[in-house]
């Protein structure tokens, strides 16, 4: 074997070794990133939730396990937009987290779903999954409630009807 052939062979082996090493490093990095990602098990606090209270609207029955469910009148928003400036409130003193889901009454299309909202906090406005043209949209607001001790544990809930008026 000539020196050129030996050199070529050695260079090829080094290139293969470097390539294998790069693949192994890439796999290790990918595995680390994937395995350290938090799993969404539905118990995440909504990042939009902020402290919110209405004086005189606390829940004094929360200690006995009573849950105060908010009620809603008609929601107004500008047509052609996707934001409704209505707070989704979990009353201070409630013994649970709340998750809000807003669906069109006809067809059940989900327009909005929050993550968990702690007691004494609210989501100040909702960004819908799509903009709404001018019109009146009957919606169902489903309020799921979850244990403060174990947020994966559902409690009772409620469904309320209201309308979104886009004009």
Residue 53: per-residue pLDDT = 76
Residue 26: per-residue pLDDT = 63
Q: What is the pLDDT along the chain (167 residues), one digit of tens a residue?
A: 676 666 677 777 776 766 676 666 766 665 555 444 444 566 899 999 999 877 766 656 666 678 888 888 999 999 999 999 999 999 999 999 999 999 999 999 999 999 999 999 999 999 999 999 999 999 999 999 999 999 999 998 999 999 999 99
What is the spatial distance between Cα 69 and Cα 55, in angstroms, rounded to a whole number?
Answer: 16
Residue 68: per-residue pLDDT = 86
Answer whether 0.85 is exceeded by the pTM: no
pLDDT in tens, 114-155: 999 999 999 999 999 999 999 999 999 999 999 999 999 999
Q: State the virtual CA torsion across 89, 92, 97, 101 in degrees, nearest 10.
A: -10
Residue 32: per-residue pLDDT = 54
Q: Which helix (H) or strand (E) holds 160?
A: strand 154-166
């Amino acid at each position: 074997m000539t020196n050129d052939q030996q050199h070529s062979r050695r260079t090829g082996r080094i290139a293969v070794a470097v390539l294998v090493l790069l693949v192994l490093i890439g796999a290790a990095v990918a595995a680390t990133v994937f395995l350290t990602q938090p799993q969404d098990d539905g118990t995440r606090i909504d990042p939009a939730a902020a402290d919110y209270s209405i004086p005189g609207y606390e829940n004094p029955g929360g200690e006995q396990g009573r849950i105060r469910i908010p009620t809603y009148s008609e929601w107004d928003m500008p047509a052609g937009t996707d934001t409704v400036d209505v707070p989704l409130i979990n009353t201070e003193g409630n013994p649970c987290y709340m998750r809000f889901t807003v669906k069109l009454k006809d067809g059940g299309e989900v327009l909005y779903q929050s993550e968990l909202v702690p007691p004494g906090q609210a989501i100040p406005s909702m960004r819908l999954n799509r903009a709404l043209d001018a019109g009146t949209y009957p919606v169902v607001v489903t309020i799921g409630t979850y244990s403060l001790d174990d947020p994966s544990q559902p409690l009772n809930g409620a469904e309320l009807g209201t309308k979104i008026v886009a004009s």
